[in-house]
Amino acid sequence: MSTTLPGGTWTLGDLTVTRFGYGAMQLAGPWVMGPPADRDGALAVLREAAALGITHIDTAEAYGPHVTNQLIREALHPYPEGLHIATKVGADRDAQGGWPPAREPAALRRAVQENLRSLGLDALDLVNLRLGNAEGPQPGSLAEAFETLAELQRDGLIRHLGVSNATAGQVAEARSIAPIVCVQNMYNLAVRHDDDLIDTLAADDIAYVPFFPLGGFTPLQSSALTAVATRLHSTPMAVALAWLLQRSPNILLIPGTSAVTHLRENITGAALHLSTDDLTELDKIAH
């Protein structure tokens, strides 16, 4: 597969995807609960992502809940050849919008079936086991949960596995149970706890998929970032994405947006080249 999207492609197991992907979480209502205010606009963003050649979309049944997967199906099913959808299991939603863990074997089997049904698929391309909580990764064994997903993979319901919101120890534990093709953790210009993990995964050809690449619900704000963006006649969001693509070849982007204009801006912006001086200045942002 060839692409003109910035960053080129990456291979997740046997699935080739564009390194510039799309994260669908922000398509649901406020705080990822309920339907979007602009349903047609949400469908338009998904259709534009596919039309622009993006072949990696990240989602979860918990977004909405159910809303994001239903939008993806409505916008794009039957899916264009080469489009790959990554989903997550391991967390539910409660009435207050919380994300309670749901990692018991029965809950995981149910979640995989729900994703298959809502996305209209016979097998899921990539399922991440979502660990930890809203504060971030938490220690603890994932063995029972990950073995359940490995069993569902052997049954043919899942093509590839990954982990999300995971500690380095949990990544190693998952790999001792079944091969993984990616780790999806929080990482961006300001939050760089996973620097060592990214390099270890790169050496083993495992993708690292940063969530909140633009800072999440409150996009990144920093005077150093604005200074570099201004000097390069670019924008802070473009610099943040270009920096991730340059940081390591195994990094895949899944920036979220509910606006077609932002989607296009982000693709154009991520092609920006950052010099060694730019990178040194941007290092000041890391916490």
Ligand X SMILES: NC(=O)c1ccc[n+]([C@@H]2O[C@H](COP(=O)([O-])OP(=O)(O)OC[C@H]3O[C@@H](n4cnc5c(N)ncnc54)[C@H](OP(=O)(O)O)[C@@H]3O)[C@@H](O)[C@H]2O)c1
Q: Residues 56, 73, 84, 130: which binds ligand X (CB under 6 A)?
A: 130
236: preceding bond cis by omega (within 30 degrees): no
Q: Residues 146, 187, 208, 212: which binds ligand X (CB under 6 A)?
A: 212
One-letter amino acid at 81 equals: E
42 touches ligand X (CB under 6 A): no
167 touches ligand X (CB under 6 A): no
Tokens of 83: 């489009």
Tokens of 209: 């998929």
Q: Residues 109, 175, 193, 262: which binds ligand X (CB under 6 A)?
A: 262
Q: How far is the CB of 186 from ligand X (least distance, A)?
A: 7
Count of residues touching ligand X (by CB under 6 A)? 27
Q: How far is the CB of 120 from ligand X (least distance, A)?
A: 19
23 touches ligand X (CB under 6 A): yes
Q: How far is the CB of 23 from ligand X (least distance, A)?
A: 2
Specify whether 63 is catalytic.
yes
Q: Residues 5, 25, 171, 182: which binds ligand X (CB under 6 A)?
A: 25
Cβ proximity to ligand X: between 46 and 152 the closer is 46
Q: What are phi and psi of 201, to 5 degrees?
A: -65, -40
Q: Residues 3, 15, 18, 26: which binds ligand X (CB under 6 A)?
A: 26
Q: How many CB atoms lie within 10 A of CB 5?
A: 18
Q: How far is the CB of 10 from ligand X (least distance, A)?
A: 16
Q: Which stretch binds ligand X (CB under 6 A): 140-148, 198-206, 226-234, 260-268?
A: 260-268
DSSP string, the chain: ----STT-EEEETTEEEESB-EE-GGGSSGGGBS--S-HHHHHHHHHHHHHTT--EEE--TTTBTTHHHHHHHHHHPSPPTT-EEEEEESB---TTS---B--SHHHHHHHHHHHHHHHT-SSEEEEEEE-SBTTB---S--HHHHHHHHHHHHTTSEEEEEEES--HHHHHHHHHHS--SEEE-B--SS--TTHHHHHHHHHTT-EE--BSTT-TTS----HHHHHHHHHTT--HHHHHHHHHHHH-TTB-B--B-S-HHHHHHHHHHHT----HHHHHHHGGG--
69 touches ligand X (CB under 6 A): no
Q: Residues 44, 116, 259, 271: which binds ligand X (CB under 6 A)?
A: 259
Q: How far is the CB of 105 from ligand X (least distance, A)?
A: 21
Q: Residues 84, 266, 267, 274: which binds ligand X (CB under 6 A)?
A: 266
147 touches ligand X (CB under 6 A): no
184 touches ligand X (CB under 6 A): yes
Contact residues toward ligand X (CB under 6 A) are 23-26, 58, 88, 130, 164-165, 184, 211-216, 219, 237, 254-259, 262, 265-266
Catalytically annotated residues = 63
